């Protein structure tokens, strides 16, 4: 009898709270940030290494934030020596500027030694850990390429722009967090 009651309760709750799948926004201007856009403060940390590439990433990232309705004073940009330092730069923005999210932009191009692998792996891991540490989005806009040509293609060339992708990732995660907070769902805990 109890099992039937729990099953019926679960069925009724699921039917009442049917999940709706929204079409994923394709551009920063299609995101619904209206309720909190003016309060947002976002950071961009950019590697000085490979400046031709990282400048292109930065420009696309800024443009995407602005398309979402952010103004210059809501975007904090800081440069760090290389991609390895991106995570620490983002951490400083969280601690000293209290930003809502950070896009990390860099470019690591493979050379003749294994250095590329060490830097790429360490950069990816430390950037990923920051999101969990601060409960705020940190996006990985770091190009890891075999050649200069591959990097150029991913910095506004034939393969898109990782700076734009990094901005969109931050914005989408902020939108998701705000939507979940506003839904204020109360689950019985056993479903």
Which residues are known catalytic residues? Answer: 115
Give the closest residue to 64 by CA, choosing from 140, 135, 178, 169: 169
Alpha-carbon distance 133 to 109, whole Å? 28
DSSP assignments along 8-75, one per residue: HHHHHHHHHT---PPPPP-SGGGS--TTTGGG--EEEEEESSSHHHHHHHHHHHHHHHHHTT--GGGE
- Grouping H, G, I as helix, E, B as strand and the rest as coil, residue 96 is helix
User: How many CB atoms sit inside 10 A of residue 123's CB?
Assistant: 23
């Amino acid at each position: 009898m109890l099992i039937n009651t729990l099953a019926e309760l679960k069925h009724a709750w699921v039917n009442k709270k049917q999940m709706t799948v929204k079409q994923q926004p394709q551009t920063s201007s299609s995101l619904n940030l209206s309720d909190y856009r003016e309060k947002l403060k976002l950071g961009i940390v950019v590697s000085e290494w490979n400046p031709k590439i990282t400048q292109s990433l930065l420009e696309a990232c800024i443009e995407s934030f602005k398309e979402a309705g952010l103004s210059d004073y809501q975007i904090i940009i800081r440069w760090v020596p290389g991609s390895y330092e991106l995570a620490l730069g983002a951490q400083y923005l969280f601690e000293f500027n209290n930003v809502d999210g950070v896009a990390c932009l860099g470019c690591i191009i493979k050379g003749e030694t294994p250095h590329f692998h060490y830097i790429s792996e360490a950069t990816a891991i430390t950037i990923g850990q920051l999101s969990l540490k601060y409960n705020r989005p940190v996006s990985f806009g770091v190009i890891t390429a075999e050649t200069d040509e591959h990097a150029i293609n991913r910095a506004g060339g034939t393969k898109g722009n990782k700076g734009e992708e990094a901005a969109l990732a931050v914005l989408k995660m902020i939108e998701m967090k705000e939507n979940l907070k506003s839904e204020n769902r109360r689950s019985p805990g056993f479903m």
